[in-house]
Amino acid sequence: MTRLQNIHTFMVRAVSERPDGKSFVPIVLYLEQQMAAADNAETEYERIVRLAQESAN
C-alpha cells in the first residue's frame, strides 16, 4: 500500500503545483478509489477471519 500512497502524494502535488494540474484530478480520484478498495479488502478479510474463528468456538 505504501507505493500507492506515495504515488497519490506525488500526484496531489502535481495537481497543486503544475499549471496543468487540473488535468491530473481524475488520476488522483482513481488512486483514492484504489486505496479505499485495498483498505476495504483488508477489512473484509479480517472480518471473515474473525467469523471463522467465532464459528470454530
Of 3, 38, 10, 44, nearest to 24 (Cα)?
Answer: 10
Domain count, the chain: 1
pLDDT tens per residue, range 32-53:
999 999 888 889 999 999 999 9
Q: Above 70 in pLDDT, residue 5?
A: yes
Percent pLDDT > 70 in the chain is: 98
Helices (H), 1-57: 2-17, 25-56
Question: What is the domain extent for residue 35?
Answer: 2-56
